[in-house]
Amino acid sequence: MNELYEKLIVAFTEKANIERDAASMLAVLKDAYPESTLPVAKTIKRFLDGETSKPQRPLLGFLAAYILGKTKEEVDAVYQSENFGDFYATFLEKQGISDSLSPVPDTAHKQSLETIEKLQKQIRHLKIFIGIFLLLLATLILIFWFINRKPILTIVLPKMISIKGGTYKMGDSFGDSDASGYSDELPLHSVTVDNFEMSETEITFNLFDQYCLDNQIPLKEDLGWGRNDRPVIMLDWYEATDFCNWLSRRAKLESVYSTERDKNGLVIKTTCNMNANGFRLPTEAEWEYAASVEITSNTKYRFGNHSNTINPDTIVFNCSEQEKTKYSTTCETLFTSTKPVKHSGLNKNGLYDMSGNVNEWCQDYYDENFYKKSNNTINPVANDSGIFRIVKGGSWNGDPESIRTAFRERQAPTCRDEDVGFRIVRRISVQ
């Protein structure tokens, strides 16, 4: 493990006076920063075990903030900005403080130092020369490749399933929120959505890697779980919308999103033209309609595979036998990663994994009271302002309650997580 990460962990556990384990550390963070979007216990455990060389910035920020004695208000004030990493930077600065001075060298030592400095200077000049030479060589190779490159293969668009629009009751239809206390799933209210089509599966690494290569950007991490037909993970909301625009251009459709960035490339504002015919993220209302309602009979179900109880053979989710609830018939399988799309979870509308596998980014901002505002509306979407974006569907490490179609999860749009991916939609006319 990186030495500085080890110092961070030691400083945290010593200050909190706890054992070095993920559950204890998460408990301390929850107590210090209640209602904040904290890393999950599995993420902290992977960090403790040294299984990742690039831990998520929020995890480093929360640990450092606690060591520095930052209040919840101070953390909340900078959580959505790049300044959240300053907590970790401040911790590193404190680690580098030294009150000892080196002794003054004698004359012979000074001469040796001067000789060494000259050699170092010559080495630096040599490195610069080599660097320039390699840069010119790389440029020539790139030009040669560009001139002689083969045409890019046609990209195969994801299979889209037509969803005929209709009116349904959005929210908790089964009384689950009464027991669990998820008040934002209520009130149950009537909404109408127009016709649209939705990707049969979550977007896979296969397709997202082509987007990265086409735009010359780094591939997303797969955490060693594999790529190919697994859902892409470790991407934020803005990267998902950039992908939608890219796919729209490749399909010769109108781009939905317009993004304004500052000189450093940071997003200032994103606007969405919901009338464009290109690809975009689903609204929360569209997602829940496609996941919970069997279109042909207008029957609503608790889970995205159109059932009211589940087990790990039908949906990729996580719970132990001790956590078995009225929702799950068995919980003997513990998933430790995503599974390839179409592994399970097919519903009667022809969609896979609408519950479990990965959470899915939606178009909407999170608004706790939006259900009260959107009753009897057509194509409702919280698209104006907010801090968090909606993610729906639960994931491979979610418990039975969190993979219900009515469950409302929120996530910072800049967050990249191991259990968040996305699928796409497009407005169409369905006969």
SS3 167: strand
H/E stretch holding 197 reads: strand 196-199
259-303 pLDDT per residue, tens: 888 888 788 888 999 999 999 999 999 999 999 999 999 999 999
As a whole number of angstroms, the distance between CA 395 and CA 361 comes to 12
Question: How many whole angstroms separate alpha carbon 85 and alpha carbon 75?
Answer: 11
pLDDT over 50 at 97, yes or no:
no
Strands 267-272 and 257-261: antiparallel
pLDDT (0 to 100) of residue 214: 93
| Vertex 205 angle, CA 226 and 56, to 5° | 75
Average confidence score pLDDT of the chain: 86
Side by side, the strands of the sheet bearing 166-170 are 166-170, 189-193, 377-378
Percent of the chain whose predicted confidence (pLDDT) is above 70: 87
- Mean predicted confidence (pLDDT) in 109-118: 63
208: its two tokens:
């997202």
Q: Is the pLDDT of residue 100 over 70?
A: no
pLDDT at 112: 57
Q: How far is the C-alpha of 307 from the C-alpha of 289, rounded, in Å?
A: 14
Q: Which of 394, 280, 286 is nearest to 349 (CA)?
A: 286
Q: How far apart are CA 274 and CA 69, in angstroms?
A: 44
- Predicted pLDDT of residue 324: 59
Predicted local distance difference test score (pLDDT) of residue 430: 57
For range 230-236, the mean pLDDT: 97
Residue 350, judged by CB atoms within 10 A of its CB (0-12, 13-18, 19+), counts as middle
Tell me the whole-structure pTM to 2 decimals: 0.65
pLDDT in tens, 300-326: 999 999 999 888 888 998 876 555 567
Mean predicted confidence (pLDDT) in 329-343:
83
- pLDDT digit string (tens) for 347-406? 999 999 999 999 999 999 999 999 999 999 999 999 888 899 999 999 998 888 899 999
- Quickly count: other Cβ atoms within 10 Å of residue 250's Cβ: 16
